[in-house]
Structure 1
Amino acid sequence: MSSSIQWASYAFVRLTLALVAGILTYLYIGETLLSWTGLVAAVVLLFGVAQLWASKQRGNTATDVAGLLAVVAVYAAGAALTQQATESRLENHVYRFGSRIEFYRGVVDDYTVVRPATYATTVRVSAVRVAGKWQSATGGIRVSIPRDSGVVAPLYGDVWLVRGAPAPSKAPLNPGEFDYRRYLQYHQVYHQQFLHPDQYRKLAVAPPNLLRAVAMRAARALDGVFRDYVKAKREYALASALVLGIKDDVDQQTKQAYANTGTTHIMAVSGLQVGLLFGVVTLGVSLLPGRRGAMFRLVSALLGVSVIWSYAFLTGLSASVLRAAVMFTFVIVAQASGRQTNMFNTLAVAAFCLLCYDPYLLCDVGFQLSFLAVISIVYLQPRIVACWDAKGYFLAKQQAWQAKHVQGLWKATSWIADKIWQATALSLAAQVATFPLGLYYFHQFPLSFLLSNLIAVPISSVAVYVGLGLLLLKGLVALVGLASPALASVLDLGPRMVGMLFEALIRWFNNYIFWIGHAMPGALISGVHVTAPQAWLIFAVILVLLAFLARRHLTWLALACGLMTVFVGSRVWAARRLAPDERLVFYSIPRRSVVGFWQGAAAHIVTVDSLPLNETERTYRIVPGTIERDAQQVRYYTGWRGSPVPAIQPDSSSVVLAVWRGVQMAFVSGRLDGARKPIPVEVVVLRRNAWVKPEALAAVFGSRPTIIFDSSCKSWYVEKLRPELQIAGWQVHDLTTQGAYVRQVVRPASGN
């Protein structure tokens, strides 16, 4: 056997892995280094020399050297591409102007997200006015505007003139909270701004991409068809999400039900819908006569690509659909080539091209889940199916002496069992690779995913076909209406009947999802905190176990056991480190006063304002921190009454004193006129714009405590009082702008 590196059949897999490594290198350490372009040029030059040398040499050493240099060149190119794609490095980025911006001009460059109280979208800046002079600029700003009467939702391509400077995106405000700032940065957006209706003006309409603008308008027009023909509100919202990817009207309860049962992918237009179209095209082509020859393969490939990209266009060219369309395009092209193709190589080519276009796609959760799921399905599904011959098992029950109807029953059962087993294998295969990411990103794993997907996916797949049929039929009726409105009104009965079937299908699988959630409430493993290194360890264990199953060598099993030991050890070490940890957390929740008393994995959360936390506040502000600490016991208290933390009101009714683990706190919500003697505390929390002056605070509490403005204080109040306190020598913390205030409790050696 040749001693050369046997990578020929996986050439693009190797190159894609090198590109990914280069992107990750820049994301983690590359920003501290100089330009990568020179390194790329040097390595490419070395590769050229090595390739020329290899062509004149005999043996494999020179070829291997040239191959390794090619990998290094792609690795450096990955880092360089990421560096070039990072807009914040540009000299005219909005970052460079800071708060000096008086006005800026920009264009709406994204979909508009409809929220209960606001519209949110992204504006790409083209120019800023600083010191009365306009100059070119670049950068993305995530803007929100109120959904007031008379306020029109922003549209892609709207050119705005905006007054005021945007603020840099905020870091997470509470422990464990979703890092929205980093999410925006991965999309080259570094600023946020809330705009009042009188703060911006629409100047013109100039879409950055005319094709995308037309596609987005087409998607909204098709959404109008679903709105007309699917009457029930929840079913209409799911119809639009299922076929068009528009999820503006999907309520939170529905989203949570799908997340809890592992079927969120049904609502996301991506690989499932594109794959269904790919399957229809493949089936249709297979039924055509004369299915041979290069010309037939070319025509079928063009047909498949046309259908997939037409669907991508009609769904507004969203990122998830584009990703799936590119993936299946490469699969179609590979099949049309007529050669023996390697599916892993085909997927690698698709990923390589997408990452060259936008290296930051690697940070997109959808990108990661899509490619991992498909790779896992390609590799594992045939192997899982081979574990049991479902069709043969039931056909073996068929005997010659049995009646014909009994033989027919066994034959039908074997066909059904085979389809169910293949669907089961597909679902299991997809979960194997995406399992670590589910724990890392979503902190949960639904054990009911198999039962949910076996029923919901087939019904939803039929619903997709029916939904597309409804759009096609409505389009035909609309064309007839151009010539004969009267005939079109008669023919409209067809779309209405299809719409009723579409609505019924959606209701069926939606009710099934909710039923699974209610019938199996304990099937959701939630609140799991996995760090990035631990997620990598889980991936490594899965890969090593797959290698063991393929090679049947005990060395792989021993390595898997070693990695599992490291994983378990990291969990135990984290738990032991957390056990003695005691801290106070003053949470940053808009218009609320909330403090947490943490001891190891247990906590008491007190809402000082005597109003219970709503589900949104608890889910997005408090729960992430509890997951991060693997909290076992978290109790919520409305007001101080009933909480284990002693609290009293001394001389003044506007002051509440509390003590926990030796840390004394004062919560001030009014004047300090009633205080008659000094009160030694370490933390003073000002609430509800408490009417206090620095000298009054010093007289009552001294100059030692830290002053905290909680989130119930107005911005004008903080801006007025904060400078006065800082000049007087106080340590000041504003929860609204600086996020939660965390105070570590240092207990004396004797305990407390």
Structure 2
Amino acid sequence: MASGGISLFVVGQWWAAKSGSASANDAMGLLALAVVFLAGLTSAQLATESRRPNHLSQLQGPVEFYRAVVDENPVVRPATYATTLRVSAVRVGGRWQTAVGGIRVSVPREVGVATPRYGEVWLVRGQPTPAKAPLNPGEFDYRRYLAYHQIYHQQFIHPDQYRQIAFLPPSYVRAVSLRVAQVLDGVFRRYLTAKREYALASALVLGLKNDIDSETKQAYANTGTTHIMAVSGLQVGLLFGLITWVLRRLFGGAPGFRYWSAGVGLAVIWSYAFITGCSASVLRAAVMFSFIIVARVSERQSTMYNTLAVAAFALLCYDPYLLADVGFQLSFLAVLSIVYLQPRIAGWLDFQELAARRQRPWQPRPVRYLWLAGGWSAEWIWQATALTLAAQVATFPLGLYYFHQFPLSFLLSNLVAVPLSSGALYVGLGLLAVTGITHGISALVPAFASSVEAGPRLVAVLLENIIWAFNEYIFWIGRQMPHALISGVQLTAPQTWLVFVIILSLLLFLAVKRLAWLGLACALLSVFAGSRVWAAHRTSTDEELIIYSIPRRSVCGFWQGAAADIVSVDSLPLSETERTYRIVPGAIQRASRRVSYHQGWQATPIPATLQADDGLVLVVWRGLRLAFVTGYLSPARQPWPVDVVILRRNARVRPAELAAVFGKKPPIIFDSSCRSWYVARQDSVLRAAGFLTHDVTAQGAFRQQPRQ
């Protein structure tokens, strides 16, 4: 299809050039866009590994063993290491064959278990399972996220299930890059004594975030400064700006400055990408700034928009699925918004001109200098404010869509955080440079080793104090403005697109000063408000029972519109992590106003009738009759018709007992407290006896509407 479109465009372009008609040229432009779109679709289809005949998902028969290479640095979690394996061969039915596919694996963090390394080749026993769909309402779709990275399977690997058999990294450049990043991380670990400051320095300069604690991550998320903890376009832009300024100040008049300074800029940017482990975010920023440098040095008529478009096009040609990457979307939207809006916002005020008007010839020189310094400082603050506001205009809809929150304190946070983080980045790179110099001197002249060691320590003290001030300011903002975070916002994909179109309409109105664009923005805003009202109305009348899928827990939710009572049947409170990732997404989806958590059935305010016995709890809620079975059913128990039966903690029941007490009509639910071996055994027995079953661990949360 794409080749046919290209052929049609070539013929059409020849016809348009021959006719010389303006309308024909316009038509060819539209045709060219259509051809590019078709080529992009074709490229995306070709890049999808699951379509290949030797992909893991296409294999016939269970996988006994597979050989795979560790394709990324591991993510260190409290109990596991998480990383990605790229398969090269599998053994099926006793025969080895080539295969492809990505597997997201978790390895327990135990004594004697080495941290996985990029490039290790593993021989693994066992069958990887397809990635699971979201198990609870509103939960993050991790399966789709993995699919965008060409990963379609998951597996928990015990230490006795795998063995390293070789070391063959897919890219030796990246392997060396990751090793360099680890060595440089050792410099920060050695010289920065405070754990929190070390963790942030390593994240800010090298992009290594495994040691940042959850409290710090939450504080930065609440103040809209999370982007500072990830090495991306901000750090690359700061480094590019510093190198450009230094070269222009020192060698601006040198012959051929335009060309060799561009070479130096490219070398510095890509060297920085190398020492940070060649992470995807840094490589994306490096490509973007490389195109900017090349565009500047060519001095051809161009705009920043075309340069960014070419950079995005090149990246999407390399990996079409980058279009679905959140970092890619936020990066290019932020830069586009800054390029267009920052000069316009900054042009609203000119503090240097205002300060100049206040100066008079008869004023003392210190007063005039004070006006000059005040005007310069106010102008710098205003320029930074314009930059921050411009970046937020285009990115806040995506922030609401992906993260369901918006920090109102972003302006105060970033006005201080960005300068401090810039200083920390420069000082951190200076620490690495000074450490390298001192090690070189120590190797050449060992007698000077103890003397030159003072240099890195002094730089490290400066870096640690900058980051300490940085952290304290972020935590202070969080304490002083505890209610400045708008959270729990639910936007659907159509609503997000609607917000973008509203913003674009308002920008067009400000640019061309035509009321039609303002009218369109107002009309679309009414549609958006109507969609929100309709969603709230639809939710307000919704009532639902949910048996959640939370590992090793028995949790059920009784939802009435935007309010809910979440009951931990096992009387143990839910952890913050369990609430955040399992319950809260569904509450956000419903725009909930009240979610109450209860441990056990006592004092639960839901309208329920309880009857407890040995391992049996009977509940009636909104006409829906539930039976929670934990131990066994007494043979003397009278029949009790119910709508749903929930088996907990490997309940010792037989099909005949369930049928005698509850009948065969209600579905049998295995909640997450049941072990996998128990579910596998009981499920087949119950199905053979004519029962309908549902395993929340494998099939996701069970949802049931009450009787009307």
- Asked if Structure 1 and Structure 2 have the same fold, meaning a TM-score greater than 0.5 normalized by the shorter chain, the answer is yes
Per the TM alignment, residue 261 of structure 1 is displaced from its structure 2 partner at its CA by: 0.3
For 2:478, the aligned partner's letter is G
| 2:119 equivalent among 157, 174, 184 | 157
In structure 2, the partner of 1:337 is 298
2:566 is equivalent to residue 633 of structure 1: no
Rounded to whole Å, the distance in 1 between the matches of 2:411 and 2:138 is 30
Query: What do residues 521-546 of structure 1 show as CA deviations (whole Å, max 9, x unaligned)?
Result: 11110000000000000000000000
Per the TM alignment, residue 290 of structure 1 is displaced from its structure 2 partner at its CA by: 5.3
In structure 2, the partner of 1:503 is 464
Per the TM alignment, residue 292 of structure 1 is displaced from its structure 2 partner at its CA by: 6.8
Query: What do residues 193-250 of structure 1 show as CA deviations (whole Å, max 9, x unaligned)?
Result: 0000000110000000010000011001111111001111111110110000000011
Alpha-carbon contact 2:68-2:123 (below 8 Å) kept = yes
| 1:273-422 correspondence to structure 2 within 5 Å | 273-289=235-251, 291=253, 295-422=256-383
For 1:157, the aligned partner's letter is G
In structure 1, the partner of 2:672 is 711
For 2:73, the aligned partner's letter is Y
For 1:137, the aligned partner's letter is A
Instruction: Say which SS state the counterpart of residue 671 (structure 1) adopts.
Output: coil
Rounded to whole Å, the distance in 1 between the matches of 2:418 and 2:31 is 46
Alpha-carbon contact 1:588-1:740 (below 8 Å) kept = yes
For 1:559, the aligned partner's letter is L
In structure 2, the partner of 1:554 is 515
| 1:190 equivalent among 145, 152, 166 | 152
Instruction: Say which SS state the counterpart of residue 41 (structure 1) adopts.
Output: helix
Alpha-carbon contact 2:205-2:231 (below 8 Å) kept = yes
| 2:525 equivalent among 564, 574, 577 | 564
Alpha-carbon contact 1:99-1:165 (below 8 Å) kept = no
For 2:276, the aligned partner's letter is T
In structure 2, the partner of 1:607 is 568
Query: What do residues 359-384 of structure 1 show as CA deviations (whole Å, max 9, x unaligned)?
Result: 10011100000000000000000000
In structure 2, the partner of 1:595 is 556
2:53 is equivalent to residue 116 of structure 1: no
In the alignment, structure 2 segments of 5+ residues that lack a partner are: none
For 1:663, the aligned partner's letter is L
In structure 1, the partner of 2:34 is 72
Per the TM alignment, residue 175 of structure 1 is displaced from its structure 2 partner at its CA by: 0.4
Per the TM alignment, residue 600 of structure 1 is displaced from its structure 2 partner at its CA by: 0.8
Rounded to whole Å, the distance in 2 between the matches of 1:59 and 1:169 is 54
In structure 1, the partner of 2:135 is 173
| 1:413-492 correspondence to structure 2 within 5 Å | 413-492=374-453
In structure 1, the partner of 2:503 is 542
Alpha-carbon contact 1:651-1:674 (below 8 Å) kept = no
Alpha-carbon contact 2:73-2:118 (below 8 Å) kept = yes
For 1:366, the aligned partner's letter is G
Identity %, equivalent residues: 63
CA separation of 1:194 and 1:290: change in aligned 2, threshold 3 A:
closer
| 1:687-702 correspondence to structure 2 within 5 Å | 687-702=648-663
Instruction: Say which SS state the counterpart of residue 708 (structure 1) adopts.
Output: strand
Rounded to whole Å, the distance in 1 between the matches of 2:636 and 2:627 is 12
Query: What do residues 260-302 of structure 1 show as CA deviations (whole Å, max 9, x unaligned)?
Result: 0000011010011101110111101211345376x32110110
Alpha-carbon contact 1:583-1:597 (below 8 Å) kept = yes
Per the TM alignment, residue 54 of structure 1 is displaced from its structure 2 partner at its CA by: 2.5
Alpha-carbon contact 1:651-1:675 (below 8 Å) kept = no
| 1:254-265 correspondence to structure 2 within 5 Å | 254-265=216-227
CA separation of 1:296 and 1:128: change in aligned 2, threshold 3 A:
same
- Count of matched residue positions in the alignment of Structure 1 and Structure 2: 708
For 2:699, the aligned partner's letter is Q
For 1:682, the aligned partner's letter is D
In structure 1, the partner of 2:171 is 209
Rounded to whole Å, the distance in 2 between the matches of 1:437 and 1:608 is 37
Alpha-carbon contact 1:586-1:594 (below 8 Å) kept = yes
Query: What do residues 653-712 of structure 1 show as CA deviations (whole Å, max 9, x unaligned)?
Result: 210111110001111110112652111111111111111111111111111111111111
Rounded to whole Å, the distance in 1 between the matches of 2:361 and 2:707 is 82
For 2:26, the aligned partner's letter is D
CA separation of 1:489 and 1:696: change in aligned 2, threshold 3 A:
same
CA separation of 1:417 and 1:485: change in aligned 2, threshold 3 A:
same
Instruction: Say which SS state the counterpart of residue 496 (structure 1) adopts.
Output: helix
2:626 is equivalent to residue 656 of structure 1: no
In structure 2, the partner of 1:533 is 494
Alpha-carbon contact 2:668-2:691 (below 8 Å) kept = yes
Per the TM alignment, residue 399 of structure 1 is displaced from its structure 2 partner at its CA by: 1.8
| 1:40-189 correspondence to structure 2 within 5 Å | 40-97=2-59, 100-189=62-151
For 2:615, the aligned partner's letter is S
Per the TM alignment, residue 341 of structure 1 is displaced from its structure 2 partner at its CA by: 2.5
Alpha-carbon contact 1:652-1:674 (below 8 Å) kept = no
Instruction: Say which SS state the counterpart of residue 154 (structure 2) adopts.
Output: strand
Per the TM alignment, residue 652 of structure 1 is displaced from its structure 2 partner at its CA by: 2.8
Rounded to whole Å, the distance in 2 between the matches of 1:651 and 1:125 is 52
User: What is the CA RMSD across the aligned residues, in angstroms?
Assistant: 1.2
Rounded to whole Å, the distance in 2 between the matches of 1:657 and 1:98 is 46
| 1:24-43 correspondence to structure 2 within 5 Å | 39-43=1-5
CA separation of 1:717 and 1:300: change in aligned 2, threshold 3 A:
same
| 1:716-727 correspondence to structure 2 within 5 Å | 716-727=677-688
For 1:586, the aligned partner's letter is I
For 2:646, the aligned partner's letter is V
